[in-house]
Amino acid sequence: MDDTNVLHNQSNELPRDYDLEGASFPNEGHFRPPLPHGLVYKQRLPAASHHVPQGDMVLDVVPDPPEDVFVGQTLKLSPAQLAEFQKHSRSIEIDRLQDFVQRDILDQRSCLTLEVITGPSCGLRCSVQSTIPSRLPLTLGRVSPSDLLIKDSEVSGKHALINWNLDKMKWELVDMGSLNGTLLNSQPINNLDTGSRHWSDPIELGNGDIITLGTTSKVIVHITSQNRIHIPFGVGMASDPMSMRRGGKKLPMEDVCYYQWPLFGLDQFGLFVICDGHGGDGAARSASKLFPEIVANILSDTLKREKVVLLRDASDVLRDAFSQTEACMNHHYEGCTATVLLVWADGDDNFFAQCANVGDSACIMNVDGKEIKMTEDHKITSYSERLRIEETGEPLRDGETRLYGINLARMLGDKFLKQQDSRFSSEPYISQVAHIDQASKAFAILASDGLWDVLGTKKAIQLVLQMREKYSTDGVNSAEKIANLLLSEARTLRTKDNTSVIFLDFNTFPRFSCKAES
């Protein structure tokens, strides 16, 4: 081709690296990769052909091209043809962008699960996904066709509904003018005038919220986000406030448990956390929001992330995460335990798990048939904790089991107590790293003290092994069933405290990952 003609017609030519099939330039990487620069295909153009079809378009080729013209070389277009081609290109790009956005929305679906935890219909469950509008809104009531059909005389026929707010990307609760009212975390959401049958304003729901219908039926809210990134092991989560266990005294839910895989921007890292609040659930909720953000931020540093992977140790990350979380919390009269399990993959089918904790929510692992204790108990009665306190120069008196009415010496929050007594601490215990390979058949149990108060670690491991064998051929996520079994066992053994369980099974491979939202 004549170089003079090429230069003369630059304004109406397509560059060699323009992608005819995809109608996009190489820097528009959302849609398809660019063709390699300099690549020449050896298929020649027929000498007599004057058109090269491209879908619905026809590009005019220089008449009678010389023998050495190959597909991939610059094609000349008239100004009118170039304008038409660019118009078609923009149309393709807009269509593809819309498809991309739609796929992105579908890949960030939210799943709502309701479980009745008290009342005549205790144990009843119902789930719905935000991406299935035909299933929405989800209705709660005493008569059919309610999605959550609650057989309680204090529940109205059509009591309440839950819908997905696409603008806010949040679940919202509405009272439908019920006679006996609807409470969210003990606060009424509707008009206090019982004679009023007006619908309430929508109220946002969060993971772990408690909805009360009438006075006896309580419903716990589980919210998870599902995406198409495969979580490479099984995860199950279950919780129960165990209300009415203390001689008829109502027990508020102060546990917050959640997990996130992968952490934002970190495909090979995940976080699993249980916080058990005291004095309220405020500190536990704050910690639950802070930990994933802070850990992800620390690991966004390439050097720190590579250090964890290469040295197989995340001690510094976990210690820094606890320090930053404590500094960000502004709870003077509320506190919480925190048990944080960080799991990461090395790209060779190996996983590594390391735990940090303050308080008495515990984590155990079973790797190659051996029990590994991943946490340390920080109750005042614990020998190691009494020893630590003694080293401060202010040892506990004989028989002393509490400080300022608290049976824990380490926690997050409780700033007032820490100002009054330096023996209180937020310094975490950090475990050794557990190495997990495909043959280890490993699993982990994280739980608040409501489980461990009534169930020993050996019994818990035995129950897991039995259930694993039972569900081994089901082809389903048995981790969820095992988490609920452990919770049910705590209930049967009449625990008197809020109970939350997260179960990780490194021997199963469910389809979707889930993370609890706060």
The stretches in the chain having pLDDT less than 70 are: 1-79, 81-108, 134, 191-196, 226-230, 244-250, 473-477, 508-518
How many C-alpha atoms does 98 have within 13 Å on its Cβ side? Answer: 5
CATH superfamily of 234-505: PPM-type phosphatase domain (3.60.40.10)
Q: How far apart are CA 359 and CA 362, in angstroms?
A: 8
Give pLDDT, residue 401: 86
Residue 362 β-bridge partners: 447
Q: What is the DSSP string of 272-317?
A: EEEEEEESSSHHHHHHHHHHHHHHHHHHTSHHHHHHHHHHT--HHH
Give Rg (Cα) of the chain: 30
For residue 248, what is the DSSP state?
A: T
Give pLDDT, residue 130: 85
Residues 6+ apart with CB under 8 A from 348: none
Which sequence spans correspond to the domains of the chain? 110-225, 234-505
Virtual torsion, Cα 270, 272, 278, 283, nearest 10 deg: 10
Strands 217-227 and 513-516: what pairing? antiparallel
Give pLDDT, residue 461: 96
pTM: 0.60
Task: Please state, in angstroms and as integers, the Cα–Cα distance from residue 167 to each residue in 147, 164, 171, 249, following that order.
Answer: 24, 9, 11, 40
Strands 57-60 and 210-213: what pairing? unpaired
Residue 320 CA from chain centroid, whole number: 22
Give pLDDT, residue 193: 59
Under 8 Å between Cβ of 100 and 122: no
Give pLDDT, residue 473: 63
In the block, tokens 């308080």 appear at 359
Q: Which helix (H) or strand (E) holds 319?
A: helix 315-328
Strands 434-436 and 351-358: what pairing? antiparallel
Q: Which helix (H) or strand (E) holds 7?
A: helix 3-8
Give pLDDT, residue 398: 83
Which has the closest alpha carbon to 330: 454, 438, 416, 220? Answer: 416
For residue 133, what is the DSSP state?
A: G
Whether domain 110-225 has CATH 3.30.70.1430: no
The Cα angle at residue 449 between residues 445 and 455, in degrees rounded to 5:
65
Give pLDDT, residue 433: 97
Residue 98 CA from chain centroid, whole number: 26
